[in-house]
A and B are shown apart, each in its own frame.
Chain A
Amino acid sequence: MDLSGASRIVLIGGGQAAAQAVQSLRMGGYEGTLTLVGDEPALPYQRPPLSKAYMKGEFAEERLYFKPAAWYEDNKVELILSTRATGIDRTAQRVDLAHGATLDYDALVLCTGSRPRALPVKGGDLDGVHDLRTLADVERIRPKMITGRKLVIVGAGYIGLEAAAVARQMGLDVTVLEMADRVLARVTSPIMSAFYEKEHRAQGVTILTGARLDHFEGKDGQVTHAVMADGTRLPADFILVGIGILPNAELAADAGLTIDNGIATDRDARTSDPRIFAAGDCASRPLVHYGRNGRLESVHNAIEQGKLAAAAILGKPRPPEDCPWFWSDQYDLKLQIAGLNQGYDQTVVRGDPDERKFAVFYLRNGTLIAVDAVNSPPEFLASKKLIMTGAKLASGVLEDTSTPMKDIAAAAATA
């Protein structure tokens, strides 16, 4: 469907994907009305620092904003904040808002994001049990980040471990509970899990894997303990829960759009309704370097799909589709991840984990599909190129640290 004549564009959501789409639409020459509906009170802001520098209190809230308030005025972007969209009437091309207003659209972009998976245990609703997803969450957590306080973190994924690192650096007494038999079990290999577990333990974090949490115990409505299935009671001044996120796809599902572990989109971020697009955590998409569909929870994905949606609406050529990439900061360790490692049949380690500078490559049938690079930008950047070209790599090449990654990538490109 040609939408290049669209003069009313509505975006639902105020995260990275929406901020990018708004910017790309205006920079791409779109001159019609542009309305962003967000359910949080703040201007669209970056989430990654919430579990990192911002949690430490290193800078002010304004610095998280993608654009200052004046930018939205100058670019005639109407912001409707603290407001939820409650329904989409696809026939009338209209969005219903919580306070009863409606917005008509020629094109609609759903950037509804994701929400933390709830922990289904007794006491999960006590005061002092927190998620870590929004600015409001961090505002509640930050006053408790005081030396000597006892923090129990449920879930040893990236969010949980990043928060653990910040809390330890601030002198808290930190315990991480992980149900699986290793940290980061869902996202990385046993080699990386072992490295991060050792690192956190060396920093003084207590990590309990194979942990069976039973419930939280409280006094006067305030959490005081995490109680394990074996009866162990772990004292806690507060709790952080980071056990994954769920896509906010209900609005799309209720409107009859196709759902496939998130709102199903094509390579242009278009949903099953040609006037409606979806971008970011809420959307599943073709993963063109992997020949399957999937939902990515990352900054790169939100930016890219925001750009794809804007380009499709404006009838511009499709922007490049990059190899998926991610990062995580813990202590002085910068982890950079390129690609998706699901289905790997071989791992190759380059460098020495004991030097806190190494990379784990993931291959399938001799082709590189992903890398986890710790304090190793060349391994990360070269791998992005290698993954996108799908070049076969001779055995022994990647672990040979005497050959720079740049040369390995160049050789593969000409092979």
Chain B
Amino acid sequence: MPKITYIDHDGNERTVEAKIGESVMETAVKNSIPGIDADCGGACACATCHVYVDEAFLAKTGEQQEMEKSMLDFAENVQANSRLSCQITVTADLDGLRVTTPESQH
């Protein structure tokens, strides 16, 4: 199973195993990763699963859809590597993925 490392705002790292086909958000929630609220459960409805994707993996995480882009536009501290983690599906290619959670989701 691919491994994903979540890094919190203070730099603490947690590495967990992810299931192919689930999202980077679901993987976080099921492993109680702090800093990802995901209030809507992955419906791209709440913008509370914002992460920064390690530049090396950015291309592999796929294209942002318009819905995600416009949701992210309202998140705090958005960067070029910002994504909503509910919109990134885990693939074998993403083994070793590193994402950082922002200071706050609200």
With A27-B34, A378-B70 as given contacts, are A48 and B41 in contact (CB-CB < 8 Å)?
yes
Categorize the interface residue count of chain A: 20 to 34
8 Å CB interface, A100-117 against B: none
Number of A-B contacts (CB under 8 A): 54
Do A329 and B74 have beta carbons less than 8 Å apart?
Answer: no
Do B32 and A406 have beta carbons less than 8 Å apart?
Answer: no
Do B22 and A377 have beta carbons less than 8 Å apart?
Answer: no
Is B29 located at the chain interface by the 8 A CB criterion? yes
Do A334 and B41 have beta carbons less than 8 Å apart?
Answer: no
Which residues of the other chain, A, contact B45 by a CB distance below 8 angstroms? 327, 334, 336
8 Å CB interface, A315-337 against B: 320, 322, 325, 327, 329, 334, 336
Which residues of the other chain, B, contact A59 by a CB distance below 8 angstroms? 21
B interface SS class: loop
Query: B26 — nearest CB in chain A belongs to which residue?
Result: A63
Do A327 and B43 have beta carbons less than 8 Å apart?
Answer: yes
| A248 and B29 alpha carbons, distance in the complex (Å) | 28
Is B1 located at the chain interface by the 8 A CB criterion? no
Do A320 and B70 have beta carbons less than 8 Å apart?
Answer: no
8 Å CB interface, B30-61 against A: 30, 32, 34, 39-41, 43-47
Number of interface residues of B (CB under 8 A): 21
8 Å CB interface, B6-22 against A: 21-22
Query: A385 — nearest CB in chain B belongs to which residue?
Result: B74
With A63-B22, A377-B67 as given contacts, are A303 and B39 in contact (CB-CB < 8 Å)?
yes
Segment of A66-74, A167-175, A186-194 engaged in the interface with chain B = A66-74
Is B103 located at the chain interface by the 8 A CB criterion? no
Contact of A299 among B22, B34, B40, B47 (CB under 8 A): B40
Which residues of the other chain, B, contact A322 by a CB distance below 8 angstroms? 106
Do A320 and B106 have beta carbons less than 8 Å apart?
Answer: yes
| A82 and B67 alpha carbons, distance in the complex (Å) | 39
Closest chain A CB from B13 CB (angstroms): 18
Is A231 located at the chain interface by the 8 A CB criterion? no
Which residues of the other chain, A, contact B32 by a CB distance below 8 angstroms? 23, 27, 67, 71
With A27-B32, A66-B29 as given contacts, are A378 and B73 in contact (CB-CB < 8 Å)?
yes
Which residues of the other chain, A, contact B106 by a CB distance below 8 angstroms? 320, 322
With A67-B30, A71-B32 as given contacts, are A46 and B73 in contact (CB-CB < 8 Å)?
no
Known interface pairs A27-B34, A48-B41, A336-B45; 18 further A-B residue pairs with C-beta atoms within 8 A, sorted by A's residue number: A23-B32, A49-B41, A65-B30, A67-B29, A67-B32, A299-B41, A300-B39, A303-B39, A320-B106, A325-B46, A334-B43, A334-B44, A334-B45, A377-B70, A377-B74, A378-B70, A381-B47, A381-B74
8 pairs of A and B residues whose beta carbons are closest in the complex: A381-B74, A327-B45, A377-B70, A377-B71, A46-B41, A378-B70, A303-B39, A68-B30
Residues of B within 8 A of A (CB): 21-22, 26, 29-30, 32, 34, 39-41, 43-47, 67, 70-71, 73-74, 106
A–B complex contacts, Cβ < 8 Å, 27 sampled:
A23-B32, A27-B32, A48-B40, A49-B41, A63-B26, A65-B30, A67-B32, A68-B30, A71-B30, A71-B32, A299-B41, A303-B39, A322-B106, A327-B40, A327-B43, A329-B43, A334-B44, A334-B67, A375-B67, A376-B70, A377-B47, A377-B67, A377-B74, A381-B47, A381-B74, A382-B74, A406-B74
